[in-house]
Amino acid sequence: MSEAVPVSYGPTSGQPEEVGISREALSRITTWQVKMVEQERLPMTQLLIQRKGKVVYNTVTGWKHKNTDTPKGKPAPGRESVPASCNNIYRMYSMTKPIVTVAAMMLVERGEMQISDPVYLYLGDKWKKENMKVYLRNTYDGKKYETTPCLHNITIKMLMNHTSGLSYGFDVKGEVNQVDKIYYDHRLSRDPGIQRNQGTSGGSVLQQFCDDIAELPLLFQPGEHWWYSFATDVLGRVVEVASGTNLEDFLQQNILKPLKMVDTSFGLPQDKRDRFCSCYMRKGQKISMNALGQSVGDDKGLWDITEMIKKENGGAYFKSNLRDSSSCFLSGGGGLVGTCSDYMRFCACMINGGELDGVRILSRKTVQYMTVNHLGREGGEDLDMRMKQKGLPMEGYSEAGDPGTGFGLGFSVTIRPDLCPYMQSKGTFSWGGAASTLFFIDPVEDVAVVFASQFRFRDDLKMPLRATVSNLVYGCIVDGTVSKL
């Protein structure tokens, strides 16, 4: 007989009825959270909902550690089943990106840099256009490839909105993106923190990474397309240079400590490791970030991959997050660990226009500027991420962008709710992480949502997590009158 799914409740600060949320509809969310764990589709879930400044839902289901096998068919070492709790620490992965982009915009506000600045002003001559090359499609034979001259300098803004021409290394076999294969063959996408300069300081590891990626070809001319990439890792190094301090220290001093995000960091101290969740994947799932449409069967059953991702040479995501911050690769694109409650404080600050509990980290205008679409217009219409990807290989990766979704500075932005395949308001900004974490902030409805599990290589066709969470949450809003989208 399977174990009963544990359910626990974290602290809230208001009653649902006070802020136009249906208590009955919230119970549907709890039922769904229990079902996801009961059916072994997710190991654990935690969902926080804030509306009108009040956290009215904070529910946890499932297991921090679950007694199950590894992909090799062996029991996970020391993994007795332990219920999840509201203070679990999660690998936030790409939910690091908005925080690092906020850090960069703080420097812009201080006059330390401009978003129009070319990256070479901070990272050196390797980043000048005359020293960079753009890959010519289908010319890589495993040893050499052809390139064309780079026509434009990469700017800070291009790093912030993923139009720089960099790639991410997900497609290690080069099935659709040979630049990823070039990254892999040059060891760039095999966990820079372990493979490059092991034992040196975080800053020098990140510096070496940025020097190395500048020597490899770009996927396209800077500014020409939108493509998810290592850009925010590079942006993290720009923050270091512009501020004169390493990324961990800058984030702690300027964002994390001021916002009382007490459990968020690039490192995981020994006294917090018992709160760190194990990580899982679906049995039989393809071990790849290009997992869309790759699952078979009923999408149920879990493998424990905690040890696998601790050791594996993958991209910047494939890190244990257990190394000391002073010696690990400080990945601005995916290195933070933290709690849902911490991340909700970040979201609350953003929906408040850059201020929380009397502490301001950004101006209202800066937050507004970051959360409008920055992908340009064509034919009188705002370009969404998919429009900006035309002509590029994009099969498989779930963060390729939904229809009607543009990209600002560090956040995706809903620009056409009528095209979006799930409920959203115009202007909603959001992002997610590789282990099935996500958040969204809706200024129209004054709603902020944080969801977390620890489940890798998810097939969005089998488990459309962002759509499901969004629809569940919007199904709870009952106040106000109906107006056009």
DSSP-assigned letters across all residues of 13-38: SS-GGGGTB-HHHHHHHHHHHHHHHH
Is a pLDDT exceeding 70 seen at residue 418? yes
Higher pLDDT pick, 202 / 97? 97
Q: Which of 411-442 are b and which e, b meaning 16 or more Cβ less than 10 Å from the residue's Cβ?
A: bbbbbbbeebebbbbbbbbbbbbbbbbbbbbb
Is a pLDDT exceeding 90 seen at residue 45? yes
Tell me which of 124-128, 332-336, 457-461, 472-476 is least confident: 457-461
pLDDT given for residue 148 in this prediction: 98
For residue 391, the tally of other CB atoms under 10 A from its CB is 10
Is a pLDDT exceeding 60 seen at residue 317? no
State residue 303 phi and psi, 5-degree precision: -110, 140
- Of all residues in the chain, the percent with pLDDT exceeding 70 is 87
Gap between the Cα atoms of 435 and 429, Å rounded: 19
DSSP 125: G
pLDDT in tens, 223-246: 999 999 999 999 999 999 999 999
pLDDT in tens, 247-290: 999 999 999 999 999 999 988 888 898 999 999 999 877 776 66
Gap between the Cα atoms of 161 and 151, Å rounded: 19
Collapsing DSSP states into helix, strand and coil, what is residue 280? Answer: strand
Higher pLDDT pick, 481 / 317? 481
Sort strands 280-282 and 455-456 into parallel, antiparallel or unpaired. parallel
For residue 338, the cross-strand partners are 90
pLDDT given for residue 432 in this prediction: 96
pTM reported for the whole predicted model: 0.94
Contact 3, 81 (CB under 8 A): yes
Contact 48, 11 (CB under 8 A): no
pLDDT in tens, 168-224: 988 888 988 999 999 999 988 665 555 554 444 444 688 989 999 999 999 999 999
**Region 328-353: what's the mean pLDDT?**
94
Most confident segment among 65-79, 101-115, 323-337, 395-409: 101-115
Beta-strand ranges (E) seen in 243-336 are 280-282, 302-304
Gap between the Cα atoms of 350 and 346, Å rounded: 6
pLDDT given for residue 292 in this prediction: 56
Contact 290, 395 (CB under 8 A): yes
pLDDT in tens, 158-168: 999 999 999 99
Is a pLDDT exceeding 50 seen at residue 351? yes
Name the pLDDT band for 319 (thresholds 50, 70, 90): very low
- Cα distances (angstroms) measured from residue 92 to each of 173, 321, 431, 450, 454: 26, 10, 11, 11, 9
Contact 171, 129 (CB under 8 A): no
pLDDT given for residue 236 in this prediction: 97
Residue 93 tokens read as: 């992965």
